[in-house]
């Protein structure tokens, strides 16, 4: 793996790559009486260097948020700061700090990846000696396909081609809107590898997704957007911890199943199951070991145990349903 030679100077003092301050967007549809509130006072801070997952069901406002950053949607109110630059005062510099990978696979099928990147570099007026066409193609795993016509590339390769194009002007931030939509499962992993490589070389990554698995595997910071509002924004580890519940499933012998549970376990909210019971507890206040000890002390024989901790999907459903 190569890293892009250009390092990102001028990291913002507060270490915040993107800051949204009460950002709102109302779409005023022509001929329609009720305008659509797509974003409602969104406050968000995206730290430098993270892989940030913006999650939310369809219609949550994810693309609206991305498109405001890309400059294709005009915000209604609120502030946006990108890499320390204010979007209202310095829109060009804001754009220069972002590479956007759109959801649609709009690539020129008559160009090879190499030609396409050179063409894009020309549009940015990047002098030949500063271009990093080879390095970028290597980063996204398209070295072998450098001179193959784009029409021969698979869906996953085309997506990585778009990542390459977004990186031509060496932005410190890369934004991907639903990067693996339409990319088959086997090729998703390759795309994630490219994203991780870019992040390792210092690029701050923001991606929207409604595949929770993607966020679970790739992101270290997650925000959940629902109906234009941020429900939560935390590191993934904090978010998983904050669910505040864990289930301990205990299998006990048949002849002990119908007797009442000891009182000190009753406190922990046990549910009787067909082969024993399930105890839901707060992992910050108790532990499986502690509970199993109480069960043992009460003379109940333990045949088998398993635990279940909520994953991102459970938390997502809790917050958006
Ligand atoms: P997401 O990307 O999370 O699916 P969007 O940002 O695309 O959500 O949409 C948020 C809401 O704004 C939806 O209710 C959608 O119908 C509405 N919306 C999006 N774009 C437009 C538009 N150009 N005109 C009117 N309403 C829009
Ligand atoms: Mg969208």
Tell me if 67 CB under 6 Å of ligand 1.
Answer: no
Asked whether 36 lines ligand 1 (CB < 6 A), one says yes
Mutation probe of ligand 1 site: the residue of 24, 35, 64 with most atoms within 8 A of C-beta: 64
Q: What is the CATH number of the domain that holds 61?
A: 3.40.50.300
Predicted TM-score (pTM) of this structure: 0.81
Are residues 63 and 169 both part of a single domain?
yes
Residue 38 lies in a domain: no
| Cβ–ligand 1 contact at 274 (below 6 Å) | no
Residue 18 inside a domain? The answer is: no
Residue 54 has what pLDDT? Answer: 96
C-beta of 38 in contact with ligand 1 (< 6 A): yes
At 257-314, the pLDDT tens digits run 877 777 777 666 778 888 888 888 888 788 899 889 988 888 899 999 999 887 888 8
Residue 244 backbone phi and psi in degrees, to 5: 65, 20
**Nearby residues of 263 by Cβ (< 8 Å), 6 or more positions away:** none
Q: Could you tell me the CATH number of the domain that includes residue 297?
A: 3.30.70
C-alpha angle 125-82-20 in degrees, rounded to nearest 5: 150
Instruction: Give the pLDDT score at 199.
Output: 94
The verdict on 151 and 211 lying in the same domain is yes
Give residue 227's Cα distance to chain centre. Answer: 18
Range list of H helices, the chain: 62-70, 91-96, 113-123, 133-139, 155-166, 185-200, 212-218, 236-242, 263-266, 288-297, 312-320
The answer to whether position 318 is within a domain reads no
How many A from CA of 282 to the centre of ligand 2? 35
Does residue 82 sit within a domain?
Answer: no
Asked whether residue 221 falls in the same domain as residue 134, the answer is yes
- Give me the pLDDT at residue 143, please: 95
- Which atom belonging to ligand 1 lies closest to the Cα atom of 73? 23
Other CB atoms within 10 A of residue 7 CB: 11
Number of H helices, E strands in the chain: 11, 14
- Secondary structure (DSSP) of 72-129: SS--SEEEEEETTEETTT-HHHHHHTEEEE-SS----TTS-HHHHHHHHHHHTT--GG
Asked if 121 and 131 touch (Cβ cutoff 8 Å), the reply is: yes
- Domain membership of residue 17 (yes or no) is no
List all residues 6 or more positions away from 204 whose beta carbon is below 8 Å from its beta carbon. Answer: 17, 18, 46, 47, 48, 49, 50, 52, 172, 173, 174
Q: Tell me, what's the pLDDT at 6?
A: 52
Pairwise CA distance, residues 130 & 136, whole Å: 12
Let me know the angle formed at the C-alpha of 180 by 101 and 199, rounded to the nearest 5 degrees.
60
Query: What pLDDT score was predicted for residue 206?
Result: 97
pLDDT for the residue 31? 67
Whether the Cβ atoms of residue 252 and residue 274 lie closer than 8 Å to each other: no
Considering the domain architecture, whether residues 265 and 175 belong to the same structural domain is answered as: no
- Residue 3: its pLDDT value, please? 46
For the Cβ of 169 lying below 6 angstroms from any atom of ligand 1, the answer is no
Ligand 1 pocket check for 183: Cβ under 6 Å: no
| Calpha distance 245→307 (Å, rounded) | 11
Is the same domain home to 184 and 221?
yes
Of 199, 214, 240, which residue sits at a domain end?
Answer: 240
Residue 131 belongs to what domain range?
Answer: 6-10+49-71+95-240
Spell out, as residue ranges, where the chain has pLDDT lower than 70.
1-9, 31-33, 266-268
The number of folded domains in the chain is 2
- Centre of ligand 1 to C-alpha 133, Å, is 35
Residues 206 and 279 in one domain: no
In what side-by-side order are the strands of the sheet with 229-235? 98-101, 173-177, 204-209, 51-55, 221-226, 229-235
Residues 303 and 157 in one domain: no
Q: Both 106 and 218 in a single domain?
A: yes
Check if 62 has its Cβ closer than 6 Å to any atom of ligand 1. Answer: yes
Asked if the structure places residue 41 within a domain, the reply is no
Which ligand lies nearest to the CA atom of residue 35 in the structure? 1
Instruction: Answer with the one of 240, 270, 300 that is the final residue of a domain.
Output: 240
Residue located nearest, by CA, to atom 23 of ligand 1: 27
- Cα-to-centroid distance, 294 and ligand 2 (Å): 50
Same domain, 229 and 153: yes
Report whether residue 59 contacts ligand 1, using a CB cutoff of 6 Å: yes
Ligand 1 contacts CB of residue 27 (under 6 A): yes
Q: Which ligand sits nearest to residue 225's alpha carbon? A: 1
Which residue's C-alpha comes closest to atom 17 of ligand 1? 38
Q: Is the four-CA dihedral 286, 290, 292, 298 of positive or negative sign?
A: negative
Shared domain for 202 and 60, answered yes or no, is yes
Q: Which residues contact 104 (CB under 8 A, 6 or more apart)?
A: none
CA torsion sign for 5, 10, 11, 16 is negative
What pLDDT shows up at residue 9?
A: 64
| pLDDT number for residue 1 | 41
Task: Answer whether residue 301 is part of any domain.
Answer: yes
Are both 110 and 143 inside the same structural domain?
yes
Quick one: pLDDT at residue 7?
54
Out of 180, 215, 240, pick the residue that ends a domain. Answer: 240
Let me know if residue 227 belongs to a domain. yes
252 and 236 within one domain: no
CA distances (Å), origin 42, targets 79, 113, 177, 229 = 10, 37, 18, 6
**For ligand 1, what atom is nearest to the CA of residue 64?**
6
């Amino acid at each position: 793996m190569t890293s892009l030679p250009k390092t990102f100077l001028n990291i913002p003092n507060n270490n915040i790559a993107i800051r949204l301050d009460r950002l709102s967007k109302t779409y005023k549809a022509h001929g329609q009486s009720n305008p659509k509130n797509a974003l409602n006072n969104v406050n968000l801070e995206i730290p430098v260097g993270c892989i940030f997952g913006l999650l939310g069901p369809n219609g949550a406002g994810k693309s609206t948020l991305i498109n405001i950053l890309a400059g294709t949607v005009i915000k209604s109110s609120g502030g946006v700061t990108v890499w320390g630059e204010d979007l209202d005062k310095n829109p060009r510099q804001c754009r220069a700090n972002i590479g956007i990978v759109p959801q649609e696979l709009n690539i020129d099928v008559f160009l090879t990846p190499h030609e396409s990147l050179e063409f894009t570099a020309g549009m940015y007026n990047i002098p030949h000696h500063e271009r990093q066409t080879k390095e970028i193609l290597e980063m996204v795993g398209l070295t072998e396909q450098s001179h193959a016509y784009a029409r021969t590339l698979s869906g996953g390769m085309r997506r990585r081609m778009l990542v390459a194009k977004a990186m031509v002007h060496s932005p410190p931030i890369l934004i991907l809107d639903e990067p693996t939509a339409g990319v088959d499962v086997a090729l998703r992993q390759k795309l994630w590898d490219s994203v991780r490589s870019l992040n390792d070389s210092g690029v701050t990554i923001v991606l929207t997704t409604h595949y929770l698995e993607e966020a679970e595997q790739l992101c270290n910071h997650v925000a959940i957007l629902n109906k234009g509002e941020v429900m939560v924004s935390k590191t993934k580890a904090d978010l998983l911890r904050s669910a505040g519940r864990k289930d301990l499933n205990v299998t006990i012998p048949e002849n002990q199943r119908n007797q009442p549970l000891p009182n000190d376990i009753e406190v922990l909210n046990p549910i009787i199951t067909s082969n024993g019971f399930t105890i839901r507890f707060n992992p910050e206040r108790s532990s499986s070991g502690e509970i199993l000890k109480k069960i043992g002390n009460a003379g109940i024989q333990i045949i088998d145990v398993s635990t279940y901790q909520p994953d991102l999907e459970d938390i997502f459903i809790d917050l958006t349903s």
